[in-house]
Amino acid sequence: MRLKNKVALITGAAGDIGRATVLRFAEEGAFVILSDINEKGCKSVLKEVEALGAKGDIILADVTKEEQLVSMFKQIKADYNRLDILVNIAGGDYENDASLDEINYEKMSFNIDVNLKSCILCSREASKIMMDQMSGKIVNMSSLTWRGSPMQYSYSAAKGGVYAFTRSLALTLGLYNINVNGLAPSLIEVEVIKKGMDAETWAALKEDCSSRYPMGRVGQPIDVANCALFLASEESSFITGQIIEVSGGARL
């Protein structure tokens, strides 16, 4: 088991990618701490974890609230006295399909809060624990939109920030034996995206992307989870400051 006896925190654990990551880590022996604002979703995923014969915990937190994040990491320190892995998955595009002249200050601010600031704050708090133990793995969630994406201005800016922050953090934490890397997925088939459009629009988007991606399909949550697992394991011990595009070759 690649993560045997490791304590791993996954934010956004109730979402499709979060769920896949939690279960993948649990399969590999990790004690998984699920964090989200969706308590019902977390409880459902934790039942799946326990059905695998693995163990976990739930710590609810709103990643846009600094005091809740600080409290979460204090609880982890008090309850488990260690944190081996942090996976920052919580996020989403809350100003999607907005033209340049429609950029909204509140939506823009929320996109930056939930996607970028949460990543910075969680990494800051996790680093305090990991630096003391002289080991750790941090995996951040960027997006292929870090390259730029029309009609996704604030989201792509936030994910570009995650890219830059990941590299900066890696430069700082390497001497503490802490690896910091990121994932940049292309279109992943998740319910939150599918529910945001009608079935016909989703089918057209999926077909269009599948036709353009060299691998001939859009991504699945397990594709992201498997890459997160690699970066969280000792197999990636000499990899840091990298953003891996989980994209089926999109934008090559």
Domains of the chain: 7-188+221-246 (3.40.50.720)
Contact 83, 74 (CB under 8 A): no
Q: Residue 196: pLDDT band by 50, 70, 90 thresholds?
A: confident
State the amino acid at position 183 in one-letter form: L
Residue 126 pLDDT exceeds 90: yes
pLDDT in tens, 218-233: 999 999 999 999 999 9
State the amino acid at position 127 in one-letter form: S
- What is this structure's pTM? 0.96
Helical (H) or strand (E) element with 196: none
DSSP structural state of residue 239: -
Q: What is the pLDDT of residue 96?
A: 87
Longest dimension (CA), the chain: 52
Contact 140, 155 (CB under 8 A): no
CA 36 vs. chain centroid, Å, equals: 12
State the number of CA atoms in the 13 A half-sphere of 10 facing the CB.
30
Q: What is the pLDDT of residue 39?
A: 98
Q: What is the pLDDT of residue 89?
A: 98
Token pair for 220: 């699945």
Helical (H) or strand (E) element with 215: none
Q: Count the neighbouring beta carbons within 10 Å of the beta carbon of residue 176.
A: 14
Contacts of 145 (CB under 8 A, 6+ apart): 152, 155, 156, 159, 160
Share of the chain above pLDDT 70, in %: 100
Q: What is the pLDDT of residue 251?
A: 85
Instruction: Round to the nearest angstrom and report the end-to-end CA distance of the chain.
Output: 34
Contacts of 130 (CB under 8 A, 6+ apart): 83, 84, 136, 138, 173, 176, 178
Q: Residue 20: pLDDT band by 50, 70, 90 thresholds?
A: very high
Mind telling me the catalytic residues?
Answer: 155
Taking the C-alpha atoms of residue 32 and residue 1, their distance in angstroms, rounded to an integer, is: 14
pLDDT in tens, 70-106: 999 999 999 999 999 999 999 999 998 899 999 999 9
Q: What is the pLDDT of residue 105?
A: 96
Q: What is the pLDDT of residue 252?
A: 86
The whole-number average pLDDT for the span 114-138 is 98
The whole-number average pLDDT for the span 172-190 is 97
Contact 196, 96 (CB under 8 A): yes
